[in-house]
Structure 1
Amino acid sequence: MSEIAYSTSYSILVDGQSVAFDAYALKDANGNDTNYLKLRDVAYVLNGSQAQFNVGWDGTANAITINTGESYASNGSEMSTPFSGDRIYTPNQAAVLVDGQASDLQAITLTDDSGSGYTYFKLRDLGQALGFNVTWDGEAGAIVIDTTQPYQG
């Protein structure tokens, strides 16, 4: 049986501003959504904030690199994805280095119709590893990212 990542339409607020991310969710053991965003989208949106970070690839280590505090260098792929709707996913196979150190960030890879992969990270893991807060505003039905506050769980 294939694993499915569900396209979500939650409002996402970043420092009080609505941002239209292409977001996906997996169901946790209790049936609740666990939200995943494309790493480069998050880097792009948080650029210039206290929580900015850069993304790269270390071919020698076969690893995604995340460097906190650095300005994000765009590759032009941000805030657009060549697919929509629910997608089959696979667990991310690449190592992830945060400031040169191995991390256990949870990520999935969604594949477009031509076979190109897009890596989506669990949003709360990113907040914890990179130093921004992530909360749920049940009244507004919105995911809230606050780059001025450290992750508070």
Structure 2
Amino acid sequence: MKKLLVSALLVLALGSRVHAADVQVSKQAVHLDGSPVRISGYNIDGENYFKLRDVAAVLKDTSVHFNVTFDSNANLIFIDTETSYTPSGQDASDSLHDPDSIVPSSQLAVVNGEKTKYTGYLIDGNNFFRLRDLGRTLGFWVSYDEASDTVLLKDEALPKKPIITKTDVTIINLESALHQNTKTFSIGDGTTFDFYDFIQDSSIIGVLNDGNQLVVDAYLKDGAMIVSPLHIKYRGNLSVTPKLKVSQSGNDTVMTFPSTALDDATLGIDSTQPFTLTLGVMEGDTFKALSVIDVTAPNTEAAR
């Protein structure tokens, strides 16, 4: 999402490299159950960092397999340990070279529904994460044999553990400061809207069961809106069905949020007239607004 991208841009603006005592292509062999596997990574300050998809490709036929997908709109990596990885054809490449650029990675991942921030680096445009962190959270065995200078992996499932100790919270409701979320667009040829036009830069608040509140992040997954605390020191999420209210000329229509981009056809509106789109949720029979987009009509004078 945009707020994450801004953080990454700020890091990039500070310099193309970060201070590290030692950054080099790892020369250590990697073995899975005693057999060598084809995977390359970087050794940074004595720790091994690999591409997530490369690790998934190595473990795809084991009991500790996991799948990796990326949602570019939400700027989130999704990791699912219940399904195996489908190779991309470019996994586990051994063509790494001394990096031209390296900055700390700001990339967030959602592991089995839980938001996680791995220690990692953005190296020449690719995220590399610390192997021991991946093993800890995904539940696979990682060790090192100093005598042979070999990284050891095993087809052996271990308990999955978070990187940091988190406080469990229960989100029961959502609130929003609509004056911060309202934005205006003009209709043009091919103008479309999607879920993230509403969510980017919005200020949605999760109401907890103890009465406290937290700023939450949101993404769309399999048609549901998943909200979780923005700060990763908290664990908890709420799945709700997003609703869309279309308002034009005093008429309101509430629908389940479409799975496709919103356009004139899906909205059923007169695009020559202004209208309002409101993302929200239902509380019983009541529609609760979370984010608003006001859409202006085309400039008919300019079109003549």
TM-score, shorter chain, exceeding 0.5:
yes
DSSP-derived class of the 2:53 partner: helix
Please provide the CA RMSD for this pair.
Answer: 2.2
Instruction: Report which stretch shifted further, 15-24 or 120-129.
Output: 15-24
Aligned length: 143
Residue of structure 1 in register with 2:152 after alignment = 144
* Residue 30 of structure 2 is aligned to residue 22 of structure 1: no
- Amino acid paired to 1:146: K
- Measure, in 2, the Cα distance between the counterparts of 1:151 and 1:88: 35
Deviations 1:56-99 (A, max 9, x none): 11234311111112110222220226541344311222211101
Residue of structure 1 in register with 2:70 after alignment = 57
Contact 1:50 1:69 (8 Å CA) reproduced: no
5+ residue gaps, structure 1: 28-32, 112-116
DSSP-derived class of the 2:156 partner: coil
Instruction: Give matches, 1:1-153, under 5 Å.
Output: 2-3=17-18, 5-27=23-45, 33-80=46-93, 83-111=96-124, 117-150=125-158
- Measure, in 1, the Cα distance between the counterparts of 2:55 and 2:39: 8
Residue of structure 2 in register with 1:114 after alignment = none
- Amino acid paired to 2:76: A
Do the aligned partners of residues 81 and 13 (structure 1) sit closer, same or farther apart at CA in structure 2, a change above 3 Å counting?
A: closer
Residue of structure 1 in register with 2:265 after alignment = none
Contact 1:6 1:87 (8 Å CA) reproduced: no
- Amino acid paired to 1:22: S
Could you tell me how far 1:110 is from its partner in structure 2?
A: 1.1
TM-score of the superposition, structure 1-length normalised?
Answer: 0.83
Highest Rg: 1 or 2? Answer: 2
Residue of structure 2 in register with 1:30 after alignment = none
- Could you tell me the percent identity over the aligned residues? 30
Contact 1:97 1:103 (8 Å CA) reproduced: yes
Deviations 1:9-48 (A, max 9, x none): 1011112111132110111xxxxx0110111110001001
Instruction: Report which stretch shifted further, 142-151 or 132-141.
Output: 142-151
Could you tell me how far 1:147 is from its partner in structure 2?
A: 2.4
Higher-RCO chain (CA-CA 8 Å, sequence separation at least 6): 1
Contact 2:50 2:131 (8 Å CA) reproduced: yes
- Measure, in 1, the Cα distance between the counterparts of 2:72 and 2:41: 27
- Measure, in 2, the Cα distance between the counterparts of 1:145 and 1:85: 25
Instruction: Report which stretch shifted further, 41-50 or 99-108.
Output: 99-108
Could you tell me how far 1:132 is from its partner in structure 2?
A: 0.7
DSSP-derived class of the 2:101 partner: strand
Instruction: Report which stretch shifted further, 67-76 or 83-92.
Output: 83-92
- Measure, in 1, the Cα distance between the counterparts of 2:31 and 2:73: 36
- Amino acid paired to 1:7: V
- Measure, in 2, the Cα distance between the counterparts of 1:151 and 1:120: 23
- Measure, in 1, the Cα distance between the counterparts of 2:93 and 2:149: 23
- Amino acid paired to 2:117: D
TM-score of the superposition, structure 2-length normalised?
Answer: 0.44
Contact 2:68 2:80 (8 Å CA) reproduced: yes
